[in-house]
Structure 1
Amino acid sequence: MPAEYPAPTTAAATLADLQRPSGAFAMLAVDQREALRNMMAEHQDGAVTDEHVRDFKLQAARILTPHASAVLIDRQFALEEAIAQNVVAPGCGLIAAADHFEPAYGEVVGKVSIDRALDPASLRARGAVAMKLLVLYRPDGGAEERIAMTEEFVEICRNAGLVSIIEPVSRKPLDGSQWDWNAGVMAAADELGSLGADLYKAEVPFHGQAAESEVREACRRLSRTIASPWVVLSSGVPQDVFPQAVAWACEEGASGFLAGRAVWASSLGSSDVAEDLRTNAVGRLERLCGVVDTHVKA
């Protein structure tokens, strides 16, 4: 771990900068990168350029952030432009994705490291309130590297006055052995949930598609394991299932969501993406805000 980091140039951000008045988190993610390009390619002819990806991210942020408590944006495509164009609505906290993605092992995101091109102190001075780091959990090794990266990330955030958010995701073992995705969700929390991150972003157990009692029990276990507040993401959860899954998670100790696909993914297939974002995506996001306001425990 580096011995020194630049001192923060403004007051430290807090979790309150990411929360709704109710205390719940209703956060929007538009930090998907090559995965988003692939999603967009399903709905248009010709290549999906970097500009196409960037423009969607900026458009989605401009339309949806008035209804979100925070928004997560990546440096690769849109973070600098979002700041320069002032697309994030007042009162919506800006989260910078601090992860560098590399394709590997047949996966679009097979390796992750801390994005060294980011200047955390500068981001804080320009209004960012948090950074997020994706951590790939595999059951066949890598624990030492994951723990070291997470601890360094937490320290970088702390010294820049930024809230630290970690996002462990369960991935297949590299040795080809059989594995249990849901067991990986739990094991990731066991390994990384008490390393000092301010907020933990978890996959919904069973992708929200097991019996209610099973999903709830798994969420209770996450609440017992994770030392910080935690929220759920929507990847892998059907759009129509996600609101109920959020409600179950919050009733068992989660504090909200940080999600993208469940809000805007279906808008990509519309003949008028902007109009669909303004109507259907806003409606989905507002419904989710109501869910967390109702079900997050004080």
Structure 2
Amino acid sequence: MTTLTTAERRGMQAISTPGGNILIVAADQRNGMKAAIADAPGGSNAITKDKLAEVKADLVRHLANHAPGILLDPEVALPKIVDDGVLSRDTALVVGLDASGFETQDGLKFTRFVDGVTARTVRELGGDVAKMLWYVRPDQQTEDSRVADEIRALVSECESAGVLLIVELLTYQLDGESDEQYRSVFPQLVADSAALAVACGAKVLKLQYPGSAEAAAAVTAAAHGVPWAVLSAGVDHETFIGQVRTAMANGARGAMAGRSLWKDSLSISPTTRQELLTTRALPRLRELIEAVDGS
């Protein structure tokens, strides 16, 4: 099992519930959050960067400040949300390092880093923990692949900077691969992605729900003691709660939820937004905390 440094251990504590499990509200989305705002009643497709920053600030103010941690991006949200005093001192800040979108090479997807943001600047932005997303196809990529080299390099950089890194992995459908083919290999891809990242030194994983209790247990075995949290991937709240309970019962160590919490609470109107975040999204967060801690 990979050992955490003292600084990394403090970061892990900061993003954990009283029960010792990971619980983070994900709000680093940019295009996805714009789409959620546009879909809301009275929404608009003309969402400026400043308007998106206002929405993210309200999401922190009325929802994420009630969670152990919040994941934010340095392209829109940071450092303004910290500098303006919106973020509670009791809520840990996870800084997302991945830029929006991806590039392709030989039919495979690769994420990009936000320009100028490194493990060192995570601290400068007020962050406690870093997060980086990689697209992975472990049936096509091995420990000597580009993605593996990138994971190793960032894990080492973050450890040297005293910053815990959450490694987020997303599998995806290849060109020419049928829906049925992808569904059949998906659980194994999630487990093999975890194994690949752990082999590259990952210390905390953010993973897709692999589909079943048996598959979640296989992911836990593949992670070799490295804690993993399940991501919501845009499913509805009720579905995600069920996934979290199953994953936790089979070795997962927490959850990172974004759209399942707030996708229908981001009105253009600040007043309506506050009401929906408080009366709709916040009860969901409390239910999620209960699911994670098993109470």
TM-score for both structures, normalised by structure 1: 0.84
Q: Which residue of 2 aligns with 1:5?
A: none
Q: Which residue of 1 aligns with 2:39?
A: 42
Q: Which residue of 2 aligns with 1:73?
A: 72
Q: Secondary structure at the match of 2:90?
A: coil
Q: How far apart, CA to CA, are the structure 1 residues paired with 2:244 and 2:236?
A: 12
Q: Which residue of 2 aligns with 1:20?
A: 17
Q: Which residue of 2 aligns with 1:54?
A: 53
Partner amino acid for 2:182?
Answer: W
Partner amino acid for 1:85?
Answer: D
Q: How far apart, CA to CA, are the structure 2 residues paired with 1:152 and 1:115?
A: 16
Gaps of 5+ in 1: 1-9, 207-214
Shift of the 291–100 alpha-carbon distance from structure 1 to 2, 3 Å rule, reads: same
Q: How far apart, CA to CA, are the structure 2 residues paired with 1:249 and 1:72?
A: 21
Shift of the 88–274 alpha-carbon distance from structure 1 to 2, 3 Å rule, reads: same
Q: Which residue of 2 aligns with 1:153?
A: 154
Q: How far apart, CA to CA, are the structure 2 residues paired with 1:31 and 1:46?
A: 19
Q: Which residue of 2 aligns with 1:30?
A: 27
Give the alignment's Cα RMSD to 1 decimal: 2.3
Shift of residue 142, structure 1, vs aligned partner: 4.7
Q: Secondary structure at the match of 1:87?
A: coil
Identity of aligned residues (%): 27
Shift of residue 239, structure 1, vs aligned partner: 1.9
Shift of residue 157, structure 1, vs aligned partner: 1.0
Q: Which residue of 1 aligns with 2:245?
A: 247
Shift of residue 294, structure 1, vs aligned partner: 1.5
Deviations, residues 253-294 of structure 1 (Å, cap 9, x unaligned): 111111111111121369711111012111000111111112
Q: Secondary structure at the match of 1:23?
A: coil
Shift of residue 185, structure 1, vs aligned partner: 1.9
Shift of residue 122, structure 1, vs aligned partner: 4.0
Q: How far apart, CA to CA, are the structure 1 residues paired with 2:125 and 2:72?
A: 14
Q: Which residue of 2 aligns with 1:197?
A: 202
Q: How far apart, CA to CA, are the structure 2 residues paired with 1:240 and 1:270?
A: 25
Deviations, residues 123-157 of structure 1 (Å, cap 9, x unaligned): 32554111001010136745401101111111121
Q: Which residue of 1 aligns with 2:82?
A: 83
Shift of residue 103, structure 1, vs aligned partner: 4.7
Aligned 8 A contact 1:140 1:175 in 2: no
Q: Which residue of 2 aligns with 1:293?
A: 293
Provide the aligned length of Structure 1 versus Structure 2: 274
Shift of residue 55, structure 1, vs aligned partner: 1.3
Gaps of 5+ in 2: 1-5
Q: How far apart, CA to CA, are the structure 2 residues paired with 1:217 and 1:76?
A: 38
Shift of residue 116, structure 1, vs aligned partner: 4.4
Partner amino acid for 1:123?
Answer: V
Q: Secondary structure at the match of 1:113?
A: coil
Partner amino acid for 1:243?
Answer: I
Q: How far apart, CA to CA, are the structure 2 residues paired with 1:179 and 1:11?
A: 39
Deviations, residues 184-230 of structure 1 (Å, cap 9, x unaligned): 32331232233222210011122xxxxxxxx1111101110113111
